[in-house]
Structure 1
Amino acid sequence: MSLPRPALDPDLAARLAGMPLGVMLDAEILMQMRQYRTPVETYLEGRSLDHREVEVETTDGFAMPLSIFRQAGANTDAAPCIYWVHGGGMVMGDRFANLDIPLEWLKRFGAVVVTVDYRLAPEVSGSTLVEDCYRGLTWVAAHAAGLGIDPARIIVAGASAGGGLAAGMVLMARDLDGPTIAAQILICPMLDHRNDTTSSRQYAGDPGVWTQEKNAFGWKSVLGGAGEAEVSPYISPARASDLSGLPTAYIDAGTAEVFRDENADYASRIWAAGGQAELHIWAGGFHGFDAMFPDAPLSTAARQARTAWLGRFLNAAA
């Protein structure tokens, strides 16, 4: 028997109607979904940007691509940096996924945007994904002067799986005395491999953008048959026993999605540890609603709230 669920926002429900949404994700469907990528030119059209590509060697010798964007002709040598981590359930997507989100912050705040193409599961597994992201972050911090970045204003941000990996990087940076991270923006982050909250169970069994079943496939692809004690909190941040000493966080999600409860719990645990987090749970929002339909009224409100928070933070940090 299915659990009752919060209703979808009516406008979003109408936009979502008729879309080919499934319950399950498997290896065959994944290969099909990986074929569909939005070209970076789609995001760059109409924007006056300098775009640079670099490769950073990971600890095991993989040449990992990073893309760097800044306003064309910008002459500042102390810009804030948005280090963007893409979503895709840890099994799909690339560094250009939902690039419009950080590029809006580039335009609004003069930020340098760096996006990372971490390796995906199941081709790699365990903490390799978050270690890739962290390696890119350390490269950015080490080359801040040459990139025109203020090393005290590096902000990590990501959506879905990217939000979870961003949270994991923050934990790594704290524990390893790594680069200074000024703030973290976690958009509907994928934080908990256990996949057993009330909201996870609410969104099981019926077609949806991201269901409990799809979430289970993503986590199995990353973790394989690892036992509970073997799961690193850097890849599943909800496992972290200590959330003290973290940079301020902005966390948001929808009421009508799998990650709602683990996101609210993560914010609550940051508060309990004496940290600061701003939490927004948008009534009627499904997973990734503001990325899929950015012009919907609820999406506009969510994006504006996120941008306003970042503006307040940067003004305070200036």
Structure 2
Amino acid sequence: MKPAANPFHPDLQRAARLIPKVTVTRPVLAVMRFLTRLQPTPRAPEDVAVEDVRVPGPSGGQPVRVRTYRPRRVRGRTPALLWIHGGGYILGRPEMDDLLCVEFARELGILVASVDYRLAPEHPFPAPLEDCYAALRWLFAQAGALGVLPERIAIGGASAGGGLTAALAQLAHDREEVRPAFQLLVYPMLDDRTTTRTDIDGTNHRGWNQGSNVFGWRSYLGREPGGAQVPAHAVPARREDLSGLPPAWLGVGTCDLFHDEDLAYARRLQAAGVPCDVTVVPGAFHGFDVITRGAGVAREFRGVYTAALRRALFPAPGVTELAKSG
């Protein structure tokens, strides 16, 4: 018999062999958080101003830290992106996405605001989502002072950040206070019911496996995932009516644990009349564009979703030059 074909994209095969297979547990989470704090913050480039600000928290609670990125050569009012980092709802901070947020700001000429939301299990739902909503309200409320076009504010995130992005779009729709123009969903963590599936072969999963998924959802929901009911806005894929949500872009790899739930959500958005472009990367595992940042397929993937963001925020011909100088 011929050996089974390697399921991973050629650019990712070496990384797939080297990535350790780790399942997140309480002790592992403590180590991962410690290592995250030890990671040096990338030095801010000269052409992008990076600043940490404290914004009003939800319901008069503790302020939320928001890390902003603004191109220095931009003049006038610009679109903006509220970015939400990943980490399974249990890990991470804005600094981990510094390089990506700087790229967004530089390449698109926009303000990027990255949210330092509270993490589960210490702060389960709805705390992380409410922190993101508080940051979004601040971005709209201070649009004039920030030089932002309120009608061109997008939201986006990767992994759990993508899940929070989808939930934030739903929450904003229901509260009718602010309306994002677009949602960028990068391999989002959308459905706790995936944890109950017994038909998933996790052999080719990297970066996030079923055991970690159970721990992440249990931490975020404060209960066993996959039950009959969950609170509204806690699990984006559980929402029955997806109509009226902002247009979306969704991308995921075929070797990602979230592949099936992501494509199912994209199809439901489309069926509900919500424009949703979908990119599927053959042989890509979870977080491949971060883990193998320099690989060709990773650069191409970032280029695709950056282009989707550009189309959403600069819809009219020639508007890409808006507010740019020199």
Distance in 2 (CA, whole Å) between partners of 1:43 and 1:81 is 22
Correspondence for 2:206 among 201, 208, 228: 208
Structure 1 6/283 Cα, relative in aligned 2: closer, same or farther at 3 Å? farther
Structure 1 12/226 Cα, relative in aligned 2: closer, same or farther at 3 Å? closer
Instruction: Using the TM superposition, give the Cα deviation of residue 20 of structure 1 relative to its aligned residue in structure 2, in angstroms.
Output: 2.5
1:258-313 Cα distance to aligned partner (Å, 9 max, x none) = 00011101110011101100011100000010111121121122111112222222
SS of the aligned residue for 1:68 comes to strand
| Contact 1:200–1:259 (CA under 8 A) maintained in structure 2 | no
Q: Which moved more, 1:87-96 or 1:63-72?
A: 63-72
- The number of residues matched between the two structures is 311
1:181 corresponding residue in structure 2: 180
Q: Which moved more, 1:169-178 or 1:33-42?
A: 33-42
Distance in 2 (CA, whole Å) between partners of 1:6 and 1:113 is 38
Distance in 2 (CA, whole Å) between partners of 1:299 and 1:313 is 21
Mapped pair 1:245 → 2:274: no
Residue 213 of structure 1 aligns with an amino acid whose one-letter code is G
**Structure 1 runs not aligned, ≥5 long:** none
Mapped pair 1:235 → 2:234: yes
SS of the aligned residue for 1:42 comes to coil
Distance in 2 (CA, whole Å) between partners of 1:200 and 1:36 is 33
1:15 corresponding residue in structure 2: 15
Matches within 5 A, 1:101-250: 101-196=100-195, 201-203=200-202, 208-225=206-223, 228=227, 230-250=229-249
SS of the aligned residue for 2:286 comes to coil
Computed over aligned residues only, the root mean square deviation of the Cα atoms, in angstroms, reads 2.3
Structure 1 216/43 Cα, relative in aligned 2: closer, same or farther at 3 Å? farther
SS of the aligned residue for 1:116 comes to strand
SS of the aligned residue for 2:192 comes to coil
Distance in 1 (CA, whole Å) between partners of 2:285 and 2:80 is 29
Distance in 2 (CA, whole Å) between partners of 1:295 and 1:90 is 26
Distance in 1 (CA, whole Å) between partners of 2:127 and 2:151 is 26
User: Normalising by structure 1, what TM-score?
Assistant: 0.91
Residue 251 of structure 1 aligns with an amino acid whose one-letter code is L
1:109-128 Cα distance to aligned partner (Å, 9 max, x none) = 11001011100000011222
Structure 1 40/134 Cα, relative in aligned 2: closer, same or farther at 3 Å? farther
Distance in 1 (CA, whole Å) between partners of 2:141 and 2:184 is 22
Structure 1 164/282 Cα, relative in aligned 2: closer, same or farther at 3 Å? same
**Structure 2 runs not aligned, ≥5 long:** 320-326
SS of the aligned residue for 2:94 comes to coil
User: Normalising by structure 2, what TM-score?
Assistant: 0.89
Distance in 1 (CA, whole Å) between partners of 2:180 and 2:285 is 29
